[in-house]
Structure 1
Amino acid sequence: MPEGYDVIVIGGGPAGATASGLLAKWGRRVLVLEKEKFPRYHIGESLVPGCVPVIEELGATELVEAAGATKKYGISLIWGAVATPWSVDFDEVSPHPYAYQVKRAEFDNLLLTHSRRLGATVVEEATVRGLVYDGDRCVGVRYGAGRSEELTEVRAPYVIDASGQGKLLARQLDAVGWHEDLRNLAVWTYFQGGDRLDGRRAGNILVENCPPGWLWLIPFSDDTCSVGFVAQTAEVAATGLAPAEVLRRQIGESNEVRRLLADAVEVAQPRTAKDWSYTCGRMSVPGCVAAGDAAAFIDPLFSTGVMLAMKGASSAARTVNAILDEPGRDDELRADYEKAYRDFLDVVVSFVRFFYDPEKKIVEYFEQAQDLVDPYRALAAREDFIMLISGLYGARPVMESTAPDPLAGTAATA
């Protein structure tokens, strides 16, 4: 591996592709080490408008549109004391009228390929085994290529850990903090055919309360849809059924999801994931910052996963870019990065916990969102709810770094 990189990025998912793409776009020499061969399967298919500014910043909007991603104009729910469907539309308040429903294998591959085009060097099937330190400072990584047991060491002034659920930095620091009350299990599969919501809402994600948990239905442009059930792991175990049987039972006991799937055919084997909600107690050390799932992952109720990954990676890229210019500000800029990240995570976790009571009046959910993000009542409570679930709330954009904008004073779209 040749020397001379400014930044090593561990992982090529949405966080790694975003951070590497932006840094390469700004003229940095970037190496991405991705353990898998792309395209590869991943869950987390429903994006929110908070992703859109980052996609634009990367210059990838036309690519996403051309790939046939389903336009998602809002979210539709059967949730709350009144068991009838209700919806909110992003363009009620957001400058971005829609987000996307995406097949993650396609979307993630698109982003990583785009990072290559922007100038990042991407090595796939390269598994990072550990960080390299000089004293207390991270100065590089050791990785294995393919199935080889031989490790290669490569160094750079900065490392970004975007290793996803691998959480390389946090695991080495023993800093993974699980949200015990959100130790949930998800089971999901795919259907072809069936109906969709009417009109403009045909691309919406549908979230339906279905005790002891909730169902999602995410429509795609190829006439398939992702359908899953989320509940506390203990509640699923208490049924005595296999997770796939629980999913099918909950679909049968639902109202709107069952209606939409009445003429659909299940076309994939069910998959499961569990115990995934966590926030890492440390997200950086001198020479290394974590972004995306390597820093935190919050319950999927509001589809924040990819947004957190891309927003966090954008902020991480700005932070690292500024530190490379002014190494003496390392501690200051890392501290600001972590604070901005944690402030947003605290709000999301608080609201998820509140929203998990499915018996409240709808207006109570709106008012709780307002209490969390808009104490001065600058917007109506319903608008604050939309801003929160869109990842766009507040006067200061989510996870915006105070690091200087690399494109300030230049043509931002150049």
Structure 2
Amino acid sequence: MAEQGTYDVIVIGAGPSGAVAAASLVRYGYRVLVLERQHFPRFSIGESLLPQSMAFLEQVGMLQDVVEAGFQHKNGAAFCRGYDYDFFDFRQKFSAGWGTTYQVQRSQFDKTLADCAERQGAEIRYGQTVTAVSRHDAGVVVDVLAETGEAYRMEAGFLLDGSGFGRVLPRLLQLEKASTLGARLALFTHVEDRIVDPRFDRNKILITVHPFVPEIWYWLIPFSNGRASVGVVLPRDRFDEESMDRLATLQGYIAEGGMLSEFLSNALFDTPMRKLEGYSSDVERLYGDRFVLLGNAGEFLDPVFSSGVTIALKSATLAAATVHRQLQGLNPDWQQEYEIPLRTGIDTFRVFVEGWYDGRLQDVIFANNKSEGVKAMISSILAGYAWDSNNPYVSEPARLSTLAELCRG
């Protein structure tokens, strides 16, 4: 196998976590190589950003590129159940920081970030698949298969896995473990939405709950070009690929969606359907000897609150700073400096995801008697500020159960 050189850091995956980590490390002065299996632009799910993400993009000099890309402005999240409707304005939140963000076609968004990382000095190689990883005292050895069929080997002082749902290192190093969240799948597509209904706010993601089966929900994410991402999330046992058509299933559920069905009454379904299942994942640990897992490569909860990109960017900035300290010989405590801080926010989101599916959070969202102060605290978490320990629902996420009882009362 050909030897092709040594870098300070190798990053697997050029998605948001990989691009931001690479840009951060380049800013610290390291030689960084990013190995990406696909070619950009390419389709990806996770199209509604959270305002907390903007701070991370600003930190690595990517914000201006995103602002100039022409994405759909987003200032909150709206919720619908039949014809019950409420919304959270992220500009009216408990935590300090960004209150607006964007809804993005990930093909364009991810390429924007990757191109920015490349301009800053990271080297990105597309069409490259990591096939094996080994470690030695000085760092890591990565075996790569190029799309041309050439196999080669690279070395680095540290390895970051930002491969997302590809989960390269969890598979190669046997780090995967079963998620505690239920087995669900998503059916989704892009449409020409043709929405003219004045009740619909394009500046907000719309999350709709099925009026009779509350564990079934839909997303409607409008883009800036008159198109939208539309999907339904179902318990795994409610869809059979052999006997059920994907498009007919999605449209059938939309027809039962109350206000949502009226919003999409003129929509043109002109794009092939996609399915994603088994997406909730977990790992035994997020770091090890000379490697760290970023974003979805480590843990993915659920798409309901669009937390994936925010967690990915948070993990990238935390990991880059900790890798820097390690490469400087400072012997960082990865548990205290990376895993525990990252899991603080993940665990907050987890409580809200669990509360969504067991009904507690839905009772809060659709309650008529929410105080403005409590609504601002919930809005902060929905905006991505799941690491703000000043928020009582971050410092003590179990408060959600008490709040749900009060709202029911």
TM-score, length-normalised on structure 2?
Answer: 0.86
Structure 2: tracts of 5 or more residues without a match = 392-409
Match of 2:405 in 1: none
Residues 138 and 196 (structure 1), Cα distance of their counterparts in 2 relative to 1, 3 Å cut: farther
The secondary structure found in structure 2 opposite 1:45 is coil
Residues 54 and 198 (structure 1), Cα distance of their counterparts in 2 relative to 1, 3 Å cut: farther
Match of 1:393 in 2: 386
User: After superposition, where does 1:144-223 map in structure 2 within 5 Å?
Assistant: 144-148=145-149, 150-195=150-195, 198=198, 201-210=201-210, 211=214, 213-223=216-226
Q: Deviations over 1:237-286 (max 9, x none)?
A: 49953332211101111112211111221110111000111121111111
8 Å CA contact 2:75, 2:101 repeated in 1: yes
Q: Distance in 2 between matches of 1:360 and 1:193?
A: 29
Q: Compare 174-183 and 228-237 and name the one that shifted more.
A: 174-183
Residues 361 and 134 (structure 1), Cα distance of their counterparts in 2 relative to 1, 3 Å cut: closer
User: After superposition, where does 1:34-49 map in structure 2 within 5 Å?
Assistant: 34-49=36-51
Match of 1:130 in 2: 132
Q: Deviations over 1:324-377 (max 9, x none)?
A: 112533xx13553112222322221221111113477643789xx99xxxxxxx
Aligned length: 383
Q: Distance in 1 between matches of 2:379 and 2:107?
A: 28
The sequence identity of aligned pairs, in percent, is: 30
**Residue 200 of structure 1, CA deviation:** 9.6
The secondary structure found in structure 2 opposite 1:266 is coil
8 Å CA contact 2:139, 2:156 repeated in 1: no
Match of 1:99 in 2: 101
Match of 1:354 in 2: 355
Match of 2:232 in 1: 229
The secondary structure found in structure 2 opposite 1:254 is coil
Q: Compare 171-180 and 95-104 and name the one that shifted more.
A: 171-180
| Residue 78 (structure 2) pairs with residue 76 (structure 1) | yes
8 Å CA contact 1:32, 1:120 repeated in 2: yes
Q: Distance in 1 between matches of 2:317 and 2:198?
A: 35
| Residue 278 (structure 2) pairs with residue 275 (structure 1) | yes
User: After superposition, where does 1:362-401 map in structure 2 within 5 Å?
Assistant: 362-363=363-364, 380-395=373-388
Letter paired with 2:302: D
8 Å CA contact 1:365, 1:385 repeated in 2: no
Residues 31 and 196 (structure 1), Cα distance of their counterparts in 2 relative to 1, 3 Å cut: farther
The secondary structure found in structure 2 opposite 1:268 is coil
Q: Distance in 2 between matches of 1:185 and 1:196?
A: 30
Structure 1: tracts of 5 or more residues without a match = 371-378, 399-414
Q: Distance in 2 between matches of 1:102 and 1:290?
A: 24
8 Å CA contact 2:83, 2:259 repeated in 1: no
Q: Distance in 1 between matches of 2:136 and 2:390?
A: 35
Residues 238 and 293 (structure 1), Cα distance of their counterparts in 2 relative to 1, 3 Å cut: closer
The secondary structure found in structure 2 opposite 1:95 is coil
Letter paired with 1:171: R
Match of 1:32 in 2: 34
| Residue 65 (structure 2) pairs with residue 63 (structure 1) | yes
Letter paired with 1:393: A
Match of 1:336 in 2: 337
Q: Distance in 2 between matches of 1:318 and 1:60?
A: 17
8 Å CA contact 1:127, 1:145 repeated in 2: yes
